[in-house]
């Protein structure tokens, strides 16, 4: 199957947040670790050796420099040293998405789910990887799981809407796009949701004509 997504607003947001700042209804001072619940940001850092956070920050700086191959190596080293650190696997998988290595990205997102099956961002990014590989059926399944865990997760609403759009299910696409617009109107993918919703409404009108 053809890839349906090349550089969607979800991938753009990955460039911006890369697994530390939580968008789409989450506050930026909370981080979800493998204890299955929310913890405060500082507690999240202390849960691991503080060096893990320093390595994560260094990895983001490498990514910002544009050297994604080196950033990938850096995060591979991080998760080797801290194999229970969910954020490391999310960052590694996100970089691999940027390197068009969706298959390996899936492996790391699945690993993050193995560590903590209650973290919606892992399922949302896994859904993105599946969509990028052209498998909307699995993508929708993972996006739905993310929304079961957090119904106000704007990124997941936008992702599932894209899949429904490409499946010509315009009613469901519109429902989730409107939700994304309500939740994150000023974000990159919130704005893209408005643009895609216009296309959806035109498609629906064409079907009526």
Summarize pLDDT for 50-103 with one digit per residue, the tens. 788 788 889 888 988 889 999 999 999 999 999 988 888 988 998 999 898 999
- Is 22 among the domain residues? yes
- Is 148 among the domain residues? yes
- Is 208 among the domain residues? no
**How confident is the model at residue 179, as a pLDDT?**
94
Per-residue pLDDT band for 121 (boundaries 50, 70, 90) equals: confident
**How confident is the model at residue 8, as a pLDDT?**
54
The pLDDT tens digits for 133-187 are: 999 999 999 999 999 988 888 889 999 999 999 999 999 999 999 999 998 888 7
- Is 33 among the domain residues? yes
Token pair belonging to 98: 């940027």
Per-residue pLDDT band for 29 (boundaries 50, 70, 90) equals: very low
- Whether 11 shows a pLDDT value over 70: the answer reads no
- Based on the structure, what is the number of domains in the chain? 1
Of 119 and 139, which is predicted with more confidence?
139
Give the CA distances from residue 165 to residues 12, 87, 131, 180, 196, in Å, rounded to whole numbers and listed in that order.
19, 30, 12, 14, 9
Single pTM value for the model? 0.80
CATH number, residue 98: 1.25.40.10
Token pair belonging to 112: 């993050």
- C-beta separation of 177 from 197 below 8 A: yes
Q: How far is CA 57 from the centre of its chain?
A: 19
Residue range(s) defining the domain that contains residue 161: 9-203
Mean of all residue pLDDT scores within the chain: 79
Rounded distance between C-alpha atoms, residue 4 and residue 179, angstroms: 22
DSSP one-letter code for 4: -
- C-beta separation of 87 from 98 below 8 A: no
Sequence-separated (6 or more) residues with CB below 8 Å from residue 117: none
Rounded distance between C-alpha atoms, residue 190 and residue 8, angstroms: 12
Give the dihedral sign, CA 153/45/93/89. Answer: negative
């Amino acid at each position: 199957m053809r890839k349906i997504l090349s550089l969607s607003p979800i991938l753009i947001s990955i460039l911006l947040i890369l697994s530390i700042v939580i968008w789409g209804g989450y506050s930026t001072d909370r981080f979800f670790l493998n204890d299955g619940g929310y913890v405060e940001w500082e507690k999240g850092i202390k849960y691991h050796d503080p060096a893990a956070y320093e390595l994560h920050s260094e990895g983001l700086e490498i990514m910002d420099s544009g050297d994604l191959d080196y950033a990938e190596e850096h995060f591979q080293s991080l998760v080797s040293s801290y194999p229970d650190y969910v954020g490391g696997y999310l960052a590694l998988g996100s970089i691999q998405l940027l390197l068009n290595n969706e298959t390996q990205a899936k492996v790391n997102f699945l690993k993050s789910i193995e560590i903590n099956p209650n973290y919606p961002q892992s399922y949302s990014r896994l859904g993105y990887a599946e969509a990028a590989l052209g498998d909307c059926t699995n993508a929708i399944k993972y996006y739905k799981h993310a929304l079961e865990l957090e119904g106000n997760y704007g990124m997941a609403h936008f992702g599932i809407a894209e899949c429904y759009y490409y499946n010509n299910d315009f009613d469901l696409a519109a429902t989730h796009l409107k939700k994304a617009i309500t939740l994150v109107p000023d974000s990159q993918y919130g704005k893209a949701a408005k643009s895609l919703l216009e296309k959806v409404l035109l498609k629906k009108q064409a079907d009526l004509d």
